């Protein structure tokens, strides 16, 4: 084979220069831009052997494409013309139609040929389609790739007919193989002139290619690669920590954020008055981290140190003015927090309860004052249930008090200023005002868990309040038609449902989900907004929560899809019980008897379905009608095993129960080998079906094996 | 420590009034009309007709003015060093938005005596929205060494109407900038003039209006005032329908807008007094918004433009 000629490969530099793009959106935009360009190059048959890299800074989105063919490969295409009947006359000579087709295709009539199509024979011509150059393709592909970026909220900066983007686009650089591309994005013609850092660089820099661009921008105060900026920040944080003898409060997401907030990040240290350390750490860290984007630092013993590390967007602070400015801002913030800490506590936490009247939860579900009443009722209901089930440390009065206080901090100045501290501030105030640890911790923790990794509330009272709050949110929202769809879940109901599941499982709480949903529905009806929940909505809510539970069992606990389905098919109203059954099922699956038995169960289900016998059908077996030995053997084995399984189940020994069931494999196999279920005699047939129905009924109460057994169904 | 040779340190930074003068001069040189504060109480410079109405329609316009902004709920009886019942905004509207608007803005910082090379200045995402005005925009808060000094907004809608062309709104927080320039910890220590402080001039006002709006205002009287102003605004807006020619041009829509502004301030007073329930709150805001949006639509008709109510593309 002849070696292919060495094709010329070229590189592209493409930069979209903008006014400051929100830092939080940059990582996704980088990724999306790369995907868009790759997709468009694939569609143009230009992607082979190409690497696309994208980088974002607040003022630019940069693409570097390497190994790009200078031109698409040429391809031969077939163009069909008129049908054979029209193209040739009775003696087989080409007609005018054939001639004009040839002219149009710029080929000789003798080059035309016939092709077989679905509609018959047609005239055809070969056409060489010359590949277009990368330049020709890129001038349309690049603007398109930028245009197709999806932003949470775009804008226009000229007028209604102007371009839309996340922030105004101000310049474009597009250089292919050293030459500028003639294209425009958002009405701005591309060139080869970029801009440096706003304060550290030149305002016009000519660039030839990506390496040249990266080098020149580095000299002009812009580190183009986000990973390099993160490294620079990490190194400087470490250097400050070492010099000061403290530890930086580890915070990967803050590091990422500041890397995207700055084109040339540098770290400076500032100090604050140690007197502020009398405020709780939670408040100090939140002010520094969430409001000022500073890294908090701690001493070796874990206590906060009166310093902070700020990431600035310039290379130095030679006069110390920047440091002084940041210190001043932080001082004012801390002074505010201190002021709130004192003024909020001029009255007691419970005194804020009436003010919750003015804090809306959801317009149709009323204020937080209304929500608190519902949560109180529900938290008490939970604790009462637990106490009656023998959990003697479940205190109704404590749950009631914690629920009463839980939302009070929403009306405090501290939370109105630092909203992310909701719950935490309430807990801190409760403790400072002499509430018991149980109640203060419950208030502090009751928003938890906020995700799969987040811990659940520390104590039982906190769990009761958290469950009540979350369940009320889910039930209330579903009742007024707020149901999460796709990416839209404004009231974070999925998170709430996940929280419910996590708390129940990790605290091993005995709860009937359907009864709990019923209790929440009742609270919604007896308290404001006095709204009923339809039975089908209650079912919908249960399914919604069970979906989250399935997710937890699969993703976190590693149970197989069909195992979870087998257990949930039998019911998962009590999640802790479902978890035990799952564990037993997973264990028994390894035994050699299990899988064949599961297949038999599937077969039984199919037979019953074909005979129109519903699952759970209660027809009785008449022992007198049992004819065959294998049949009688199965009957007595089922009777015997059923009694054992019941005993094991009642003792919560699911694995023993499943082992007993697995032990039936031999008699079941013998039954199917020797007995014809669909016998001629109707009474006999019916009796056999009854036997199978009983078997299925008795032995699918732990898990429905027919969900597991291999190929028979689906 | 150095011996105290000089008893008096040379005062640092511009006085409050010099700051206003410098900004006024800077923006005057950029072609802005220098307007005066509006004489109706309002919560922000955006509500001044020179912004709310001027950004509507096709005509180019540049304006700058100081607007004392009353936010009754933010009052602190003059006891908090940073929070005020009434603060001052320097407001600039550039219509249409110039391509180098960020650079022009940065130069204005230079005019206030800030050396850009010695500080850390950044534009951080902060979109602005006024539900009572049916207005919103996209932009940033400008941070100077971590201190928020300006709200920088590309206006997208005003009075529920898509804007075309787009105006840029710059809102400088004068007290904050002044305190920064002078290095004072409390707004009340800010030198207003060479020999008077902000506290000497404004403290009593803060104390008294905080006391009024939190403790002494008569909520039921304010409610009836709200109704009266709303009624007048509605009547005026209703009377505008179908007018032609000179009748249309001379019709007092600006008076309707004044009543709308009154409603907005009265709402803020009720809010500060803590007498509005959640449902009522949303309803009152919607009523003010309706007046604002109707005024904006009528204003466009009066100016001879057409109302473009195009759906905003996401």
Between A317, A326, A358, which is nearest B277 by CB?
Answer: A358
Nearest CA in chain B to A340: B80
Q: What is the pLDDT of residue A699?
A: 86
More confident residue, A362 or B61: B61
Which class in CATH covers the domain with range B16-212?
A: alpha beta
Q: What is the pLDDT of residue B305?
A: 55
The distance of A260 to chain B (nearest Cα, Å) reads 11
Between B81, B102, B274, which is nearest A358 by CB?
Answer: B274
Between B96, B125, B145, which is nearest A322 by CB?
Answer: B145
Helices (H) and strands (E) in chain A, counts: 25, 18
- Compute the count of residue pairs across chains A and B with CB atoms less than 8 Å apart: 121
C-beta neighbour count of A62 within 10 angstroms: 25
Asked if A363's CB is within 8 angstroms of B278's CB, the reply is yes
Asked if B310's CB is within 8 angstroms of A313's CB, the reply is no
Partners of B173 in the β-ladder:
B89
Domain ranges of chain B: 16-212, 218-302
Q: Which among A46, A57, A53 has a CA at the least distance from the CA of A9? A: A46
Q: What is the pLDDT of residue B312?
A: 37
The distance of A358 to chain B (nearest Cα, Å) reads 5
More confident residue, A107 or B170: B170
Cβ-contact A119, A83 below 8 angstroms:
yes
Asked if A155's CB is within 8 angstroms of B138's CB, the reply is yes
* pLDDT band at residue B198 under the 50/70/90 scheme: very high
**Interval B18-54: pLDDT, tens:** 999 999 999 999 999 999 999 999 999 999 999 999 9
Q: What is the pLDDT of residue A362?
A: 85
Asked if B121's CB is within 8 angstroms of A363's CB, the reply is no
Place of tokens 């940069």: A62
Domains by residue range for chain A, with CATH: 9-72+133-219 (3.30.70.2750), 76-129 (no CATH), 226-344 (no CATH), 407-558 (no CATH), 578-707 (1.10.730.10)
Asked if A58's CB is within 8 angstroms of B308's CB, the reply is no
Name the 3-class secondary structure at A200: coil
A516 touching B, CB under 8 A?
A: no
Rounded to an integer, what distance in angstroms lies between the CA atom of residue A114 and that of residue A112?
7
Contacts of A63 (CB under 8 A, 6+ apart): A12, A13, A14, A15, A33, A34, A37, A52, A53, A54, A142
Asked if B119's CB is within 8 angstroms of A322's CB, the reply is yes
* pLDDT band at residue B311 under the 50/70/90 scheme: very low
Q: Which among A487, A458, A457 has a CA at the least distance from the CA of A470? A: A457
Rounded to an integer, what distance in angstroms lies between the CA atom of residue A496 and that of residue A474?
7
A201 touching B, CB under 8 A?
A: no
Between A154, A160, A164, which is nearest B310 by CB?
Answer: A160
The distance of A215 to chain B (nearest Cα, Å) reads 23
Q: What is the ipTM of this complex?
A: 0.92
**Interval A205-226: pLDDT, tens:** 999 999 999 999 999 999 999 9
B34 touching A, CB under 8 A?
A: no
Asked if A357's CB is within 8 angstroms of B125's CB, the reply is no
Residues in chain A: 714
Q: What is the pLDDT of residue B12?
A: 84
Alpha helices, H only, A552-593: 561-570, 575-588
Nearest CA in chain B to A323: B145
Cβ-contact A174, A183 below 8 angstroms:
yes
Q: Rounded to 5 degrees, what are φ and ψ at B95?
A: -130, 120
The distance of B260 to chain A (nearest Cα, Å) reads 24
Our CA angle for B69, B74, B80, nearest 5°, is 110
Rounded to an integer, what distance in angstroms lies between the CA atom of residue B164 and that of residue A159?
4
Q: What is the pLDDT of residue A624?
A: 86
Q: Which residues of B touch A289 (CB under 8 A)?
A: none
Between A19, A321, A358, which is nearest B118 by CB?
Answer: A321
B121 touching A, CB under 8 A?
A: yes
Rounded to an integer, what distance in angstroms lies between the CA atom of residue A165 and that of residue A154?
5
Q: What is the pLDDT of residue A432?
A: 94
Between B119, B127, B156, which is nearest A321 by CB?
Answer: B119
Q: What is the pLDDT of residue B276?
A: 81
Residue B3 has pLDDT above 90, yes or no: no
Q: What is the pLDDT of residue B278?
A: 65
**Interval B101-118: pLDDT, tens:** 999 999 999 999 999 999
Interface of A with B in 584-603 (CB under 8 A): none
Q: Rounded to 5 degrees, what are φ and ψ at A60?
A: -160, 150
Which class in CATH covers the domain with range B218-302?
A: mainly alpha
The distance of B278 to chain A (nearest Cα, Å) reads 5
Cβ-contact A194, A15 below 8 angstroms:
yes
B275 touching A, CB under 8 A?
A: no
Cβ-contact A81, A111 below 8 angstroms:
no
**Ranges of chain A with pLDDT below 50:** 1-2, 711-714
Place of tokens 């932009």: B139
Contacts of A494 (CB under 8 A, 6+ apart): A484, A548
Q: Which residues of A touch B274 (CB under 8 A)?
A: 355, 358
Q: How is residue B259 written in tokens?
A: 């009543």
Asked if B145's CB is within 8 angstroms of A355's CB, the reply is no
Rounded to an integer, what distance in angstroms lies between the CA atom of residue B247 and that of residue B240?
9
Rounded to an integer, what distance in angstroms lies between the CA atom of residue A628 and that of residue B174?
99
Q: What is the pLDDT of residue B4?
A: 45
Q: What is the pLDDT of residue A544?
A: 97
A367 touching B, CB under 8 A?
A: yes
Q: What is the mean pLDDT of residues B269-278?
A: 84
Asked if A158's CB is within 8 angstroms of B97's CB, the reply is yes
């Amino acid at each position: 084979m002849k070696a292919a000629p060495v094709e010329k490969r070229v590189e592209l530099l493409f930069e979209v220069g903008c006014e400051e793009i929100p830092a939080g959106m940059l990582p996704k935009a980088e990724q999306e831009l790369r995907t868009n360009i790759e997709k468009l190059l694939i569609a143009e048959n230009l992607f082979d052997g190409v690497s696309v890299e994208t980088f974002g800074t607040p003022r630019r989105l940069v693409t570097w494409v390497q190994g790009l063919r200078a031109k698409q490969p040429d391809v031969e295409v077939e163009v069909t013309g008129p049908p054979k009947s029209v193209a040739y006359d009775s003696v087989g000579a080409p007609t005018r139609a054939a001639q004009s087709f040839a002219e149009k295709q710029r080929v000789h009539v003798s080059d035309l040929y016939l092709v077989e199509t679905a509609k018959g024979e047609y005239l055809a011509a070969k056409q060489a389609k010359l590949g277009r150059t990368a330049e020709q393709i890129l001038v349309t592909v690049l603007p398109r790739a930028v245009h197709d970026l999806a932003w949470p909220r775009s804008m226009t900066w000229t007028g209604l007919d102007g371009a839309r983007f996340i922030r105004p686009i101000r310049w474009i650089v597009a250089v292919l193989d050293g030459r500028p591309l003639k294209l425009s994005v958002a009405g701005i013609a591309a060139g080869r002139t970029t801009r440096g850092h706003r304060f550290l660089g030149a305002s016009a820099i000519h660039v030839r290619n990506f390496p040249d661009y990266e080098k020149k921008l580095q000299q002009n105060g812009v580190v183009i690669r986000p990973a390099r900026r993160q490294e620079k920040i990490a190194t400087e944080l470490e250097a400050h920590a070492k010099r000061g003898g403290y530890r930086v409060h580890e915070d990967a997401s803050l590091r990422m954020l500041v890397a995207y907030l700055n084109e040339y990040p540098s770290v400076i240290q500032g100090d604050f008055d140690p007197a502020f350390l009398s405020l709780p750490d939670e408040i100090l860290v939140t002010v520094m981290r969430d409001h000022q984007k500073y890294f908090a630092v701690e001493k070796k013993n874990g206590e906060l140190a009166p310093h902070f590390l700020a990431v600035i967007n310039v290379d130095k602070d030679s006069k110390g003015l920047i440091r002084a400015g940041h210190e001043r801002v932080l001082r004012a913030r801390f002074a505010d927090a201190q002021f709130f800490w004192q003024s909020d506590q001029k009255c007691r936490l419970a005194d804020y309860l009436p003010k919750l009247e003015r804090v809306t939860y959801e317009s149709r579900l009323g204020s937080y004052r209304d929500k608190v009443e519902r949560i109180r009722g529900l938290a008490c209901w939970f604790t009462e249930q637990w106490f009656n089930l023998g959990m003697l440390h479940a205190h109704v009065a404590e749950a009631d008090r914690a629920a009463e206080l839980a939302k009070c901090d929403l009306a405090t100045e501290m939370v109105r200023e630092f909203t992310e501290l909701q719950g935490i501030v309430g807990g801190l105030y409760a403790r400072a005002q002499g509430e018991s640890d149980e109640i203060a911790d419950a208030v502090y923790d009751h928003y938890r868990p906020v995700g799969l990794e987040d811990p659940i509330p520390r104590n039982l009272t906190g769990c009761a309040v958290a469950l009540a709050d979350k369940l009320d949110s889910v039930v209330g929202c579903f009742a007024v038609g707020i149901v999460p769809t796709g990416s839209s879940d404004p009231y974070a109901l999925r998170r709430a449902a996940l929280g419910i599941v996590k708390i129940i499982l990790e605290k091993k709480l005995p709860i009937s989900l359907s009864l709990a949903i019923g209790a929440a529905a009742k609270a919604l009806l007896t308290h404001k907004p006095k709204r009923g929940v339809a039975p089908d909505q209650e079912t919908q809510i249960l399914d919604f929560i069970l979906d989250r539970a399935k997710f937890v069992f699969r993703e976190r606990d590693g149970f197989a899809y069909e195992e979870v389905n087998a257990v949930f098919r039998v019911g998962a109203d009590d999640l802790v019980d479902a978890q035990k059954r799952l564990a037993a099922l997973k264990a028994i699956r390894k035994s050699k008897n299990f899988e064949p038995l599961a297949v038999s169960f599937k077969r039984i289900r199919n037979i019953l379905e074909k005979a129109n016998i519903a699952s759970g059908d209660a027809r009785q077996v008449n022992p007198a009608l049992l004819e065959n030995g294998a049949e009688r053997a199965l009957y007595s084995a089922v009777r015997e095993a059923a009694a054992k399984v019941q005993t094991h189940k009642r003792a919560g020994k699911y694995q023993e129960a499943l082992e007993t069931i697995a032990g039936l494999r031999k008699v079941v196999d013998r039954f199917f080998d020797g007995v014809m279920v669909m016998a001629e005699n109707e009474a006999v047939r019916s009796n056999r079906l009854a036997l199978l129905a009983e078997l299925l009924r008795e032995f699918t109460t732990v898990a429905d094996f027919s969900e597991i057994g291999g190929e028979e169904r689906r | 420590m150095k011996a105290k040779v000089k008893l008096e340190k040379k005062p640092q930074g511009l006085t409050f009034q010099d700051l206003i003068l410098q900004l006024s001069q800077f923006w005057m040189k950029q072609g802005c009309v220098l307007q005066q504060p509006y004489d109706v109480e309002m919560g922000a410079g955006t509500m001044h007709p020179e912004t709310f109405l001027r950004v509507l329609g096709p005509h180019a316009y540049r304006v700058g003015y100081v607007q004392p902004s009353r936010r009754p709920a933010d009052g602190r009886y003059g006891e908090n060093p940073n929070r005020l019942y009434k603060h001052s905004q320097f407001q600039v509207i550039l219509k249409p938005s110039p391509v180098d608007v960020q650079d022009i803005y940065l130069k204005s910082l230079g005019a206030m005596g800030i050396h850009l090379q010695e500080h850390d200045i950044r534009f951080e995402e902060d979109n602005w929205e006024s539900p009572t005005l049916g207005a919103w925009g996209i932009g940033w808060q400008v941070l100077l060494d971590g201190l928020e000094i300006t709200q920088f907004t590309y206006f997208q809608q005003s009075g529920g109407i898509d804007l075309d062309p787009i105006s840029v709104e710059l809102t400088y927080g004068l007290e904050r900038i002044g305190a920064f320039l002078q290095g004072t910890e409390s707004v009340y220590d800010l030198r207003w003039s060479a020999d008077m402080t902000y506290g000497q001039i404004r403290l009593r006002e803060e104390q008294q209006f905080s006391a009024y709006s939190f403790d002494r205002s008569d909520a039921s009287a304010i409610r009836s005032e709200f109704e009266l102003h709303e009624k007048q605004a509605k009547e005026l807006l209703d009377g505008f329908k179908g007018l032609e020619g000179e009748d249309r041009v001379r019709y007092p829509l600006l008076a309707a807008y004044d009543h709308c502004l009154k409603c907005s301030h009265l709402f803020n007073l009720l809010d500060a007094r803590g007498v509005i329930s959640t449902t009522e709150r949303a309803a009152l805001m919607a009523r003010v918004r309706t007046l604002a949006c109707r005024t904006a639509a009528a204003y466009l008709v009066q100016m001879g433009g057409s109302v473009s109510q195009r759906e905003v593309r996401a």
